[in-house]
Structure formats: structure tokens, C-alpha cells
Amino acid sequence: MTDGTRSRRGDEAGRFAALLLHDVGKYIARTARNVQGQEWTPELSAMLCRDLFEMAGGRASRVFEERAKPIEMLIGAQPDLEQVRDLLSQIDSLESAVRQGEPDALGRAGQLAREVEAALRAFARTLQEGTP
């Protein structure tokens, strides 16, 4: 692969990473980053469920897969994305308890959502600085 091709792929991957941050990272933590150490009211719990499981385009893990696919096609498997995939699978495993409003599950899912946002933000910044 020439340097020019590598650079174009890196630029394109950076654009897709920004999209991934916008569509998943920003929205998944919409509620969670503002409810730390506070009570999860029914209104807040319902909004968290929408952030995690009812995003525009489906559950966060599904939207993530759609947005991550072109990045991995351009620059190969990325450990940072694997980490996010694992966080999202943990969130999915909590769905039933979160929907039932169990406080521990809500707190844990919120923590995981904040970690997803932070990881995707760091990944997007890394790609903007140069393809890993």
C-alpha cells in the first residue's frame, strides 16, 4: 500500500470515527453523565433506556456495529473498538434489570455508558492525530 493510499484511508477512518462518536458516544451518555450519585427517578430511568436500547437506528450495540464496520474495513481490527464492543455487551446483558429499574443495574449501566463515551472520544482523537 502506498503512503498516499494509507493516508486517504486514515482520513476516511477518522471521518467515520467522528461519526461513531457522534451517533453512539454522545447519545449513549446523554443521561448517564448527568446522573452520578443521584437517585434514578422513573423519568431518568426511562431516558437511560432510550439511550442504551432505543437509539435512532436501534440499540446502541447495533448502531455501534454499523458505524464501526467501515472503520475496521479501512484500517483493520482495532483494540479500542473491541473494548467498546465488550462494554456494550455488558450493557446489553443488563437490559432486563435496567428496564425493571433496579438501582444497582441502573448505576452500573450508567457507568458503562460513560466509559463507552470516553473510549470513543479517545479513539476519535487518536485517528484525528494519525492512523494507529
Partner 1 sequence: MRRLLVIEDGSEYAEFARLFLGHDFEVVAARSAEESLHALETQSIDVLLVDLRFDRAPLEMLAGNIEASAERLFAGDRSRALRHLQDQQGVLILSALRAAGHHQTAVFVHEFPARRLANLRRLYGEVRAVPSFDAKALRRALGADA
Which residues would be at the binding site for partner 1 (CB under 8 A)? Answer: 21-23, 25-27, 29-31, 33-34, 43-44, 47, 50, 56, 117, 121, 124, 128
Size of the chain, expressed as the number of residues it contains: 132
Query: Quick one: cell of 44?
Result: 431518568
Of 58 and 76, which has the nearer Cβ to partner 1? Answer: 58
In terms of phi and psi (left: phi > 0; alpha: psi -120 to 50; beta: otherwise), the region of 67 is alpha
Burial bucket for residue 108 (CB in 10 Å: 0-12, 13-18, 19+): middle
Of 9 and 30, which has the nearer Cβ to partner 1? Answer: 30
We find the least distance from the C-beta atom of residue 28 to partner 1, in angstroms, to be 10
| CA–CA separation, 73 and 84 (whole Å) | 17
We find the least distance from the C-beta atom of residue 71 to partner 1, in angstroms, to be 16
In terms of phi and psi (left: phi > 0; alpha: psi -120 to 50; beta: otherwise), the region of 58 is left
We find the least distance from the C-beta atom of residue 131 to partner 1, in angstroms, to be 17
We find the least distance from the C-beta atom of residue 34 to partner 1, in angstroms, to be 5
Of 96 and 125, which has the nearer Cβ to partner 1? Answer: 125
Of 91 and 116, which has the nearer Cβ to partner 1? Answer: 116
